[in-house]
Structure formats: structure tokens, C-alpha cells
Amino acid sequence: MGIYGASILVRYQVGRLGSHMSMNRSKQIGLRHVALKLESLGVGNTEIDAVLNRMNVVAAIKRSEEIMSFCRPAKHLVVLLEGVACSYERLPKGNRQIYGYHYAGDFCDLHRRLLPASGHGVSIEAVTDCSIGVIKHADLEELIARYPSLSLGVWRSAMLEACISRKGILNTRRSALERVAHLLCEVLARREAVGIKSPSIPLSQTDLADAAGLSAVHINRTFKQLRTLNLLAKEGRTMKVVDRSRLAALAGFDGSYLNMPELLAGWQLEIDAPRRGQESSLGRIGSQLLVLRAV
Amino acid sequence: MGIYGASILVRYQVGRLGSHMSMNRSKQIGLRHVALKLESLGVGNTEIDAVLNRMNVVAAIKRSEEIMSFCRPAKHLVVLLEGVACSYERLPKGNRQIYGYHYAGDFCDLHRRLLPASGHGVSIEAVTDCSIGVIKHADLEELIARYPSLSLGVWRSAMLEACISRKGILNTRRSALERVAHLLCEVLARREAVGIKSPSIPLSQTDLADAAGLSAVHINRTFKQLRTLNLLAKEGRTMKVVDRSRLAALAGFDGSYLNMPELLAGWQLEIDAPRRGQESSLGRIGSQLLVLRAV
DNA sequence: CGGCGGCTTGATTCGAGTCAAGAACCGTGG
DNA sequence: CCACGGTTCTTGACTCGAATCAAGCCGCCG
């Protein structure tokens, strides 16, 4: 694929990089993720190469650090190379709403150049230790002008964000149990897409509460409920998803909106797998719970 | 500006067009809206002309009709020329969630071509009588490849949708009163952007309930409350906004996310206008209400 | 005239938030 | 090794906002 074709200028943020990771390896893995992401957006190999060639800073961000504050005054677009970040906004009360999680390969602040006013108030924070790369807005725009497939790709990427946000809105209409289940399914699916197949979810309950729009206390109770249903289990400090397909069934999760063709097999059709001819009961939580309990 | 420069091929959908409107006039107004929209997205005049030249069907849709079902099998992109539509999705229970309203000049189904799977489940319905135009996906993509400013524009448009959806998520965290106020402010602002300056809102309470994510009953009660606060008034069948700035203050509405530079003067700064030095109380509804009542 | 869709209102239920206190689990430094 | 302060998790009791159920009303159109 020629991903690492040309020489890539990498400058290290002195003293910020975790000492344990090999920089070359880290860089390569990160760039591969960007390449995969672009590929999933329909961008051609030539264009991917061109983008990677312009990416010229890599820095490490520690857990719970603000990512955007790191590169003022925003002449660059930030790309996540490794780790998980989240974009969020704070309500007047202090309360934060997490809009979504970003994974390796994702563009973090597409809005900043295009619609500075619209993105006002949105911040991005590292949920785990992260490494990021940047690309100059001017460079990216030049490439977009040159390569139609790239312009389709970034368009698609923005559209995808919109679709995911819409699903988020839809999700607020569900009960807490379904909502949390849906959120977990989404997180799991997106992690798999970047190659993390572990069923453990490295997010604190507070994080998940802010993402689901529920109070931390109620998230906790919901988890307890999911545990008694044998869908989740404790694993030391973090949660582990025990039964993905039943979790997806409970959530009514259909991952097709995530635009990950290669993953759909595992998720899409399991929703009505458990029962035939009784689909009407699947929609209702009350009876749904009873079914799951009985089995 | 040369909007109507070249000859525009317009074919009428026989028998569907409302007999009372003059087609030429309707067509021109609609196209002007598309031009304004594209302009607000930063698209140049040459490109706007090129897009308008490829738009070649105009049809009328009556209130509460499904717009998407009208043009299968989706080789075209649908553009709203006149009227208001809404995109929505239905929950398993039958319950519908309105994602947002579309106004004259908006693209309705950007996702269908780019991310068919992601947009699955989303429908678009005419809220008032509408007229629509279409443009072939192939044509649009050809233009995008040719004109960088157009590709930035559609990118921006998708991004804008994402930002608006995000605000929608944020909105679900507010109380019903603030939420409804915010929704009304958004509707008002977007209507103004397309030249409708009337303070009356032509949406049924059910529509607003589905958009706000509240039950119709509770929307009604909230309206009553807003009326006793002298923010709203009944005007025959529909609602009329009496005091825009106090409504915006109550909602904590900052319209800048809507990307409408020309409108910001009227909205942006009024939020903390009523009181100085007491900003802390503005965030809290309880006291906020008392303030409003006292005045 | 009747019927129907949208609005209005009351009574009741219930899910989720808030408050508060305790327990388990860090990482840190003595 | 243990003592510590600080998160994060857990649980209970209470409150409250919004959904639901139910009924009556208004205005419209056939």
C-alpha cells in the first residue's frame, strides 16, 4: 500500500513522550490507523500517502489532559494516532456532556477551521494516554483541491459525525438500561474497528455517565442491573462485556450507522436472533427483561 | 451575482404542483434560497451558478407527505426550495424523534449517497407544503471534483449538521422549560435566515414535542408556563413569540453555532444583558424564573 | 350534523436526579 | 511495610420532573 512511502518529518514534543514506548513503532501504528480510517472513508491510496506525508508533528498527551489547548492558535488539524479521546461540552451548571469518543485515526477538530463559531464551546480531552499528529489546514485544503476522492472522504467523515450524533439524540429517548447497553455496544464496535478486540471497557463510570447523559449514581445502578442479567461482569476495576449479542439485542443496536463494513457481520443481525415470531415483545423493555431473566 | 445566468432546465411533476402558485416565481425564489445557502457556506458565485444549472426537477409536496419516498431509487440529491421539512426517525415503540428542521435552500439527504448505511432509518417529511429540486449525485460529484470551493462548502454543510445535532444532544440535558425555549429560538433564528421574520411558529405542539423529546402533554404545560411568563402568546391556532430576547436568555441560547453571521447581532449577546454582576443566577432556572416574573 | 385531530387540564405513576455516607481501590511517601 | 489522602464505586432514602392515563374541549372539514 505504500503508506510509509516518503520520509515523514516527525518532531517530538520534548519531555512529554512516555518513555516506555518506542517512537518509531508508535508513529507507525498511529499512521497506519490514519490510513485505515481514510481507506474506510473511500480515499484512494495515492491520496492517503499524500496526507500522511504532510503530517509532521507527533506528541504525547496524558490521560485527562486537554488536547486542543496543546496546539493554539489552531493553524493545524489534530489527528489522533493512538489512544482514546472524547469531545465534550460543559453545561452552565458545570455538568458535562460527552458528544462522542475518538479513536486512533480520527480527526479531532474538523470544525475548527471550517465553522469556528459552530464548534465554540466544544473541548477535547484525552481519556487514555494518547499520541496525536497534526497537519496544516492549508496543506489539507490544498490536497482536497487536488484530489476529489479526498474531498469526498472528508465530507463523508463529517457526515458520519452527524449521523453518530443523531443516533445519540435518538438514544436519549430510550430507558437508562437500553441507553447504557447501546452506548457500550457502540464503544465496543468502534474499539474493534481499530483493532482492540478486548471485551473490557477502560472508561470510568463517570465518563460513561457523561456520555449517556445520566447521573453517575444511576449509571452504577444500571450496571448492577446489567450484571444481574449476566450481560456484564466486573473485572477488577473495569467492566467486561460478557454477552455481546444479548447486550445488542437489549439495546436494539444496529451498528450499520458506524460505517464499518468489515464489522457488521458480528453485530447487525443478532438483534432478532434469540427469538422468532415474537418480535413484538423485543421492543418493550419490561417484557424484554423478563425474557432475559428467564433464560 | 449572476444567479440566474444560464438557462435552467425545469421539468414539472405533472399534477402535483399546487395550482395557486406561479411556477416561475416559485422556482426563482427557491433557487435564490439555494444560492444564499451555498453562499453562506462559502461557495463562490461561479460554483453556485454551476450547481443551479444542474438542478432540473421541481415538484410540490404537500404537508405531512414523505419526501424521500417520492424519488426512488435515489440517484438524486434532494434540495428543499420552499417550505419546511423535518428529518426524523422512529423508535421501536412507534415514538418519533425529529432530528431537525430543514428550510429553503437546505440539502435534505446528503447522507444517502455517501453513507447509505448510516442514514438508514431516517425519513424526511414535509411539515408545511414544500417544493423541492433535485440534482444528480453524479453531477454534483463532478462539480465537487472541479471546484474546490464547492467541496469545502458541502463539507461545511455536513459539519454544520453535525454541530446542530450536537447542540441537540446538549439540549436534552436541560429542563423542559429551557429546552423548549431553546428549540423555539433555534426555529426562529433559522426561519429568519431564510427571510421569514414572523414571530409566529407554524408547528403543531406534537411536532415540537417530537423535536424536543418531550411528551405532547408536557409540551403543552410548558407552553402554558411560557405564556404566563409573557414570553409566548396564543395567536389563533399557533404560537407567537412575544419576547425573543428574554426567551433567549431563559434558554441560554447562543445562535453562533448555526453559522449565520448576518443574524448574530440580534441574538448573541442578549443572554447576559438583563443583569450585570449577577451572572451566577442566570444559570439556575429557579431563580431565573423569579427574575422574569418580577420584571 | 358528526367526526376527528389538535389542544387543555387533572390525577397518578415512575424513572432518574440529588444528597449523603460508607467501602474499595488506588498511588504516594514515610 | 504500612499509613495517608484522593478518586471511584456502591448503596440507601428522598425528591421531583416528566410520562402516562383519562376525559373534556375547541375548531375544522366533510
Q: What is the pLDDT of residue B70?
A: 61
Q: What is the pLDDT of residue B57?
A: 78
- Using the 8-state DSSP alphabet, how is residue A255 labeled? G
Query: Mean pLDDT over residues B77-92, rounded?
Result: 92
Residue B71 pLDDT > 80: no
Q: What is the pLDDT of residue A90?
A: 94
Distance A221 CA to D20 C1' (A): 24
Q: Where is average pLDDT lowest: A2-11, B128-137, B166-175?
A: A2-11
Positions of chain A with pLDDT under 70: 1-24, 69-73, 261-295
Q: Report strand pairing: B238-241 vs B232-235.
A: antiparallel
Distance B222 CA to C20 C1' (A): 32
B119 → closest Cβ in A163, A258, A284: A163
Task: Give the residue from A248, A247, A268, A250 showing the smallest Cα distance to A258.
Answer: A268
pLDDT digits (tens, 9 = 90+) for A260-290: 866 554 554 333 333 332 322 322 222 222 2
> Sheet holding B76-82: strands in order across?
B11-12, B57-61, B130-136, B76-82
Identify the band that residue B261 occupies on the pLDDT scale cut at 50, 70 and 90. low
Q: What is the pLDDT of residue A236?
A: 78
Cα of A216 to nearest chain B Cα, Å = 14
Residue B84 pLDDT > 80: yes
Q: What percent of chain B has pLDDT over 90?
A: 56
Q: What is the pLDDT of residue A294?
A: 24
Nearest CA in chain A to B172: A172
Q: Where is average pLDDT lowest: A89-93, A107-111, B8-12, B231-235?
A: B8-12
Could you give the CA distance from residue B6 to residue B49 in angstroms, rounded to a whole number? 8
Q: What is the pLDDT of residue A209?
A: 97
Q: What integer best gives the mean pLDDT of chain B?
A: 80
CB contact under 8 A, B118 and A165: no
Identify the band that residue B73 occupies on the pLDDT scale cut at 50, 70 and 90. low
Q: What percent of chain B has pLDDT over 70?
A: 78
B214: left (phi over 0), alpha (psi -120 to 50) or beta: beta
Task: Give the residue from A157, A188, A160, A161 showing the smallest Cα distance to A251.
Answer: A188
Chain C nucleotides close to protein (CB under 7 A) are: 6-11, 15-20, 25-26
Distance A222 CA to C29 C1' (A): 38
Query: Mean pLDDT over residues B188-216, rounded?
Result: 92
Cα of A173 to nearest chain B Cα, Å = 7
Give, in order, the Cα–Cα distances in Å from B278 to each of A283, B189, B283, B289. Answer: 48, 27, 10, 14
Helix extents (H) in chain A: 23-40, 45-54, 110-114, 137-146, 148-171, 176-193, 205-212, 216-228, 244-251, 264-267, 279-282, 285-294
B114 → closest Cβ in A91, A95, A155: A155
Residue B286 pLDDT > 70: no
Residue B107 pLDDT > 80: yes
Query: Using an 8 Å Cβ cutoff, are B45 and B89 in contact?
Result: no
Q: What is the pLDDT of residue A8?
A: 32
pLDDT digits (tens, 9 = 90+) for A194-227: 888 889 998 999 999 999 999 999 999 999 999 9
Task: Give the residue from A234, A240, A238 showing the smallest Cα distance to A188.
Answer: A240
